[in-house]
Amino acid sequence: MKADWQKQHLILAVKYLRVWQALLTLSSSSTVIEAQAVNERYDYIIVGGGTAGMTLASRLSAEPTLSVLVIEAGGLDNYEAAVMIPRFYPGASGFAPGTRYDWNLTSVPQDSLQGQTINLTQGHAIGGSSTVNAMIFDRGMPSNYDAWAALGNPGWDFEGLLPYFKKSETFTPAPPEHASMYGLTHDAACHGFDGPVKSSYLAWSHPNNTNFLNAMHGLGIKSPVDQACDPLGAYLTTHSIDAKNQSRSSARIAHYDQIRERPNLHFLLESQVTKILVDNKDGKATATGVEFVSRSGSVAETVAASKGVIVSSGALNTPKLLQLSGIGPSSLLTQYGINVWADLPGVGANLQDHPFGLAVASLNQGIPGNSDLENVTFDAEQRDLYYAERKGRWTDTIAEALAFIPLVNFTNADVAKEVLSTANSSAVDFLPADVDSAVAAGYKSQIETILSMHESGRTAAMELLYVDGGRSIVNILMHPLSRGTVKINSSDPFAPPTIDPRYFSHPYDGRVLVESLRFNRKLIATEAVLALGATETLPGTGVQTDDDILNFIKGVTSTEFHYAGTCAMLPRSLGGVVDAELKVYGIDGLRVVDASIMPLLPSAHTQATVYAIAEKAADLMLAAQA
């Protein structure tokens, strides 16, 4: 009987794999073209087919009179299990590093992190980072987007962005049993129900999540009515996972697979744009097209854009491309013999990221954990269950239980005041020594805005991820004051840029994470978590002073892969690169649409925000057409 059951499930698995293979075969009939088949001219050229780029391609090409070309340096994924199935994102870095789906970029050695270099994963495929990320699908606090508007960007407040958050998603509420068990309520006014990206709760929830929520409630951290409009508190988060088949809903699935046969839309894959072509038209510098190479070492070719070029290459590669094209700090460009079209010192400045620290605990034997799947027999059983019923441990990913917590809620009023006192006007002293005065002025405005959000209590200073049933408690800094840089180091378009995140270059960042780790200890000491047999193993109870805790954090810190800000949407006088319509200052016909335009990181994972940015950008462009 058992053998028959296993055979039946194996047949189902094979059938499902054949469906994926059929989908892959179907994709070959798309408008993917070779370099020699590129038209001489398109209305719009989109550089990068990632999260933002695919959204733009979908919305712009929905207008049949517009011709659109997407040029993507990567290729198509093959619907591999590692890409599609949540089970294969078990750890902090996921499956992508070292593969063709990652740009495989690294930082320069970080002095503040004991000389570590940090792997900076960024998606290198159609779908971009939505193809390789941890699939957490959340939004920042309303105050975070209101701050964008306050920094000189009308229409980019939460009220202005909410329609685009909703437009991008199809939300599936939690199943009744999960809703009851974990208190998962929702407000329909906060969600979209017919958008391209699927948003849902994990089908398998760790039984320890109840302990986590009870512990957080005991510490005064409540759960919101709906995390989409009010993300402060503790809850189970949504993911970009299709509730029907429990697989990844990426920009490749949500957009490319739906639009690939449109006759007015072409995709040029495994081709790298090496330069934005700029010409002087009627006394104005104007983007007229792009230069690209279909394979490294091949001859460069060009293609023209009638209405505009849109760069959606991500916060690490977009500033690199602009700099190579003569758009950026003139002192850097002239160093490499690049003709300067627009002296914009903010290109590659203002790099922000979410660094993390963590505490590790041991739990009682028998409590489910990621290591269970190392048992080949158990893993095979869960595989069969997944393919047969879309249930079980293969529907689980790195984290579901989390909390976004204001500073005053994980410290106290006196400590919060002392921590915030480090974030004052002297913060510019912690910027790079060669910082431009406009960029420094913009940074001062950012500091004032961040302080205002913290003082109101309406933003999170820290995200806490309850990983592997509480075996790891990860703290992520939400509003870092450290600022890094992305710079070209030659005129070679295939050379990776020099990326210096400058983690912990501002002392505020380390101080917040020290207080976060102290909060972890409070969490581990709650009755609800002690019931699991929790015992701190890292950093260990012998690590008590602020300096010792900070040294531990610096030894384990890495990135949440939320790079942003390197082509900031700010006034030009504040070091901005694009205006509120995402037009690059000083260059007609050129826009940037990706995470690089965020003037401040939201207290959230960035995926849903990037979709919303691209949705809004598409509407702005189509409205300009009309």
Q: Report the alpha-carbon angle 46-281-69, nearest 5.
A: 15
The percentage of residues in the chain with a pLDDT greater than 90, rounded to a whole number, is 88
Supply 55's token pair.
């959204």
Given pLDDT bands bounded at 50, 70 and 90, which one contains residue 301? very high
State the binding site.
273
**Cα 73 from Cα 295, distance rounded (Å):** 9
Cis ω for the linkage preceding 539 (within 30 of 0): yes
Burial class from Cβ neighbours inside 10 Å (0-12, 13-18, 19+) for residue 34 reads: exposed
Output the pLDDT for position 10: 43
Q: What is the mean pLDDT of residues 553-566?
A: 97
Q: What is the mean pLDDT of residues 230-234?
A: 98
Q: Is the pLDDT of residue 63 over 80?
A: yes
Side-chain half-sphere exposure of 46, counting CA atoms within 13 A:
34
Output the pLDDT for position 422: 84
State the binding site for FAD.
273
* Average pLDDT score over the chain: 93
Q: Is the pLDDT of residue 308 over 80?
A: yes
End-to-end CA distance of the chain: 66
Supply 599's token pair.
């003037």
Beta strands at 105-106 and 342-343: parallel, antiparallel or unpaired: unpaired
* Sign (positive or negative) of CA dihedral 588, 580, 503, 236: negative
Beta strands at 301-311 and 41-47: parallel, antiparallel or unpaired: parallel
CA 533 to chain centre: 34
Output the pLDDT for position 398: 87
Given pLDDT bands bounded at 50, 70 and 90, which one contains residue 5? very low
**Cα 407 from Cα 473, distance rounded (Å):** 17
Q: Are 118 and 247 in contact (CB under 8 A)?
A: no
Q: What is the mean pLDDT of residues 594-604?
A: 99
Side-chain half-sphere exposure of 477, counting CA atoms within 13 A:
29
- DSSP designation for 431: S
Q: Report the alpha-carbon angle 231-579-347, nearest 5.
A: 90
Output the pLDDT for position 296: 58
Q: What is the pLDDT of residues 192-228, one digit of tens each?
A: 999 999 999 999 999 999 999 999 999 999 999 999 9
Which residues carry out catalysis? Answer: 562, 605
Burial class from Cβ neighbours inside 10 Å (0-12, 13-18, 19+) for residue 64 reads: exposed
Q: What is the mean pLDDT of residues 269-286?
A: 96
User: In sequence order, which ranges of 227-348 are alpha helices (DSSP H)?
Assistant: 251, 257-259, 314-324, 330-335
**Cα 105 from Cα 83, distance rounded (Å):** 20
Stated pTM of the model = 0.94
- Tell me the helix, strand and coil percentages in the chain, rounded to 5: 40, 20, 40
